[in-house]
Every structure is written in structure tokens, then in C-alpha cells.
Amino acid sequence: MIDLLRELFGQVCGQGSHPAWTPGGTPLICCQRCLGLYVGGLAAWALHLCWKPRLSRDFLAVHGALILLLAPFGWHWLPENPWLRTLTGFLCGAGIATFLWLVPATKVWRHPQLTPAKGSRKYAFGLGAASVGLLLAVQYGGTAAAWALNWLAAAGLVAFGALAILNIMPLTAGVLPRPGQPKTRTG
């Protein structure tokens, strides 16, 4: 199964040209930055579901900055190391997941966002704890950590796919007829 996941990630990750973590001597299915990206996206998605932080202008500006933070490192304008590759990927993934969360939160679930600042503080604390946990797992984890990280990366890829689909659904709402609704002719 890991070989299948490695092949799948080979389509979206520069595995061969970028280094991967090897906790416990087991190479992961994606490079250091992609691991951070997918785990960060999964963490942000889960935290949005749990804490429903207020999606204020400032909250979104911070998450936009997290995405932009990747540029100087991704384009190798600044020196980096494995920790920075993983951390910048994680932060960028959290930013992307937050912007992909906007449509599902308001159009699909229609829940009011926005618990007061308490939800935002819990979200920020959870994101910080997840990033530290990820960095500790890749550095000090063994083969069990490698197994868990591989599956977290795969779940992150699935989460991004689900968020993309949830963003497309409202766009098709007026185009596709609802079940039981008669087709109308135009023109």
C-alpha cells in the first residue's frame, strides 16, 4: 500500500529531486515540504471543523501571509534546511486549507462562523501544537512515526481534494437540476 501511495504522490511531489524525511530509517512517501503542506492542510481543516474560528479580515490576512511565506523559500531566495522546508510547507498548507474552507463554511454547512475570538485562539494553539508535533515526529520518530506520517500526508491530500470538491459544488448548484426537479428549457 505504501508503494501505491508513493506512486500517487509521485504525481504531485518532486520526490526524486527533493529530500524526504526518514524517521526510523523509513523514507516517507513525499518530500519534506510536501509532507508539511499536506499535514498542515489536514491540521487546519480539522481545527476549522472543531473550533470554527472567526474568519475575520485579520485572520484571513494572516493565512494569506502564511501562503506567501513559502515563496522566498520555495524559490530558494533564502537559505533553508529540512526543518524550514517542512515548517514553511506546513504553514502554507494551513493557509491554503483556510481559504479553501471559506466556501464550505458559508455555503455548504452554513454555520455561523464564528465563534468569538476563543475559537481563533484554540485554532492557533492547535496549529502551533501540530507543527511542533510534526517536527518532533520527523526528527525523533521511529518506524511507527513514519507509518503515521505517511498516512497523515495521504489524509491531507484527500482533505485538499474534498475541500476542492466542496468549493466546486456551489458553482454547479444553478447549472445542474436537482433530483425530482423538472428540466427547464431556455432560449
If 0-12 CB within 10 Å is exposed, 13-18 middle and 19+ buried, where does residue 178 land?
exposed
Assigned domain for 174 exists? no
Assigned domain for 9 exists? no
Number of domains in the chain: 1
The per-residue pLDDT of the chain, averaged, comes to: 86
If 0-12 CB within 10 Å is exposed, 13-18 middle and 19+ buried, where does residue 136 land?
exposed
Of 13-17, 152-156, 161-165, the one with minimum mean pLDDT is 13-17
SS3 of 139, please? helix
**Per-residue confidence at 84, pLDDT binned at 50, 70, 90?**
very high
pLDDT tops 60 at residue 177:
no
Radius of gyration of the chain (CA): 19
pLDDT for 87: 97
Assigned domain for 48 exists? yes
Q: Locate cell 432560449: which residue?
A: 187
Assigned domain for 129 exists? yes
Assigned domain for 60 exists? yes
| pTM for the predicted model, two decimal places | 0.86
Q: Locate cell 482533505: which residue?
A: 159
pLDDT tops 90 at residue 86:
yes
SS3 of 44, please? helix
- Digit-coded pLDDT (tens) for 37-63: 999 999 999 999 888 888 889 999 999
51 sits in which H/E element: helix 32-51
Q: Locate cell 496549529: which residue?
A: 127
Return the C-alpha torsion angle 142, 89, 15, 80, nearest 10. -90
CA 56 – CA 168 distance, rounded (Å)? 23
140 φ, ψ (degrees, to nearest 5): -115, -5
Assigned domain for 66 exists? yes
* Residue 69: other Cβ atoms inside 10 A: 15
Assigned domain for 175 exists? no
